Amino acid sequence: MPIALDRRTRRDADLRQVGIEDFLAHEFPDLAARHGALVAQGIEALDAPPLAIEVGDGSWTFSRDGAKLLVSRGIADGALVVTLSEQEFSDWVQNQRSFNALITARELRYRGGSQRDLSLWDSLWLTLFEGWPIVDDAIEFLDRHGEPLDFARVFTPDDDPADIAHFLREAGFLHLRGWVDPADVARVSDDIDRALPEYREGDGRSWWAELADGTRQCVRLQEFVDRSSTTAAILRGTRWEQLRHMLAAADDLVQSPVEGRCIEALIKPPGVVAGASDVSFHRDCHFGRHAYICSGATVGIAVTASSEANGLLRVVAGSHRVVMPVEIAKSAPYLPVIAIPTEPGDLTVHLSCTLHESTPPLIEERRVMYTGFGLAPREEQVDEGRALLDLRERVSDILLTSADTPGV
């Protein structure tokens, strides 16, 4: 059976300060009993080293013993050693911030391992907390009638909505055509051209990249909907509302108000040598908070065509069903990697848990807009994930001011 969109298992109202001794005494034994075998399976399958956590003057190592996950005091031989403050540990152990988030913000202190090892343990820790397996040899991709999915299928508004919703939950992505008029995105492209002079590097609402010829170019325009009446009309249209209902199916998806940063316009030029333009494989929840927010549906609107020549979206089919580490997706993915070439007006949809990347243009620029639908709130948010929001702001500052682009 395909997974439901709503995978939330934790609530902001339950957040508290968690110390490592408290966690090991009161939470770890139950988690290890329920999901330790899956973690051990993942450690063996990916040849992950033991993980040692240092907090204050103490250290503890998590390692596999056959089909069990054990913890012991001290640092085991060959362990990846991560040093966390008490606050960092509390955030990490409650899925507020991941190792990837801390390393992207240049705040993670570690030794005895590599970025690949950190990526493995980001996934293994989600396995421990959520029972989300690293590997699943029995995974299949079937339509509602039990036939193999055609990953190249392009759905139109005339297709059965139940088939479309099922495909999204089974594969983790969609390619749609006919929801947006190509003539409208041509007008959107003109709006981008008119809006560009209003953006300045360092304005806090645009991202910039350096090209091979040394010039700087704006590659991300936030607050764009306020500068494009055509974009606003698309998001307020009956066809867009039909799309929301269709994607939601039995779940409840909501749309943000059509204002401010509800959508962003991206320009992807060829020849980027520094800056956040085309991002390699990642999940939208890879900084943290998977257990509080997933799965939303991210929707891309192709303003220009996309192809191998000018860059496109690639997804790892089914990666919302197994927590394949990001670094494995980049080097040795064990699920199908699907390229999605689009025509102007096409939509792509991927779940926030689905691994995806944007390939760089080779010969000409590509333009795309991104927006999406989120799960309906279950509760009054206590702090809206303040730890992660603060960290995202620091990461954004790094991306806007540094010539280097961290792995985001």
Closest CA to 78 of 62, 57, 99, 93: 62
Residue 277: pLDDT over 90: no
**Start-to-end Cα distance in the chain:** 31
Dihedral of CA 245/246/247/248: which sign?
positive
Helices 86-93 and 386-401, interaxial angle, to 10°? 110
Residues 6+ apart with CB under 8 A from 234: 180, 184, 188, 240, 301
How does pLDDT run across 354-407, given as a tens digit for each residue? 999 999 999 999 999 999 999 999 865 545 455 555 555 555 555 544 433 333
Query: What CA–CA distance (Å, rounded) separates 62 from 341?
Result: 43
Percent of the chain with pLDDT over 90: 88
| Least confident stretch, 241-250, 295-304, 373-382 | 373-382
Give the CATH superfamily of 161-401.
q2cbj1_9rhob like domain (2.60.120.620)
The per-residue pLDDT for 378 is 80
At residue 390, the pLDDT reads 59
Task: Say if residues 353 and 320 touch (Cβ distance below 8 Å).
Answer: yes
pLDDT digits (tens, 9 = 90+) for 67-108: 999 999 999 999 999 999 999 999 999 999 999 999 999 999
What pLDDT, on the 0 to 100 scale, is given for residue 3? 79
Half-sphere exposure of residue 6: CA atoms within 13 angstroms, side-chain side = 14
Of the pLDDT bands very low, low, confident and very high (cuts 50, 70, 90), residue 250 is: confident
- Which of 129-138, 161-170, 379-388 has the least mean pLDDT? 379-388
- Determine the pLDDT at residue 316: 98
pLDDT in tens, 31-71: 999 999 999 999 999 999 999 999 999 999 999 999 999 99
H or E segment to which residue 129 belongs: helix 115-130
Q: What is the pLDDT of residue 194?
A: 98
pTM to 2 decimals?
A: 0.92
pLDDT of 131 over the 60 cut: yes
Structural tokens at position 263: 């959508």
Burial (CB count <10 Å: 0-12, 13-18, 19+), residue 295 = buried
Which string of b and e fits 52-69 if b means at least 16 CB within 10 Å? bbbbeeebbbbbbeeeeb
**Residue 406, pLDDT score:** 32
- CATH topology classification for 12-130: Nonspecific Lipid-transfer Protein; Chain A (3.30.1050)
Q: Is the pLDDT of residue 408 over 90?
A: no
Residue 219 binned pLDDT confidence (cut-offs 50, 70, 90): very high
Q: Where are the domains of the chain?
A: 12-130, 161-401
165 has pLDDT over 90 = yes
Rounded to whole angstroms, the Cα distance separating 293 from 279 reads: 22
Predicted confidence (pLDDT) per residue in 310-361, tens digit = 999 999 999 999 999 999 999 999 999 999 999 999 999 999 999 999 999 9
**Residues 173-202: tens digit of each pLDDT:** 999 999 999 999 999 999 999 999 999 999
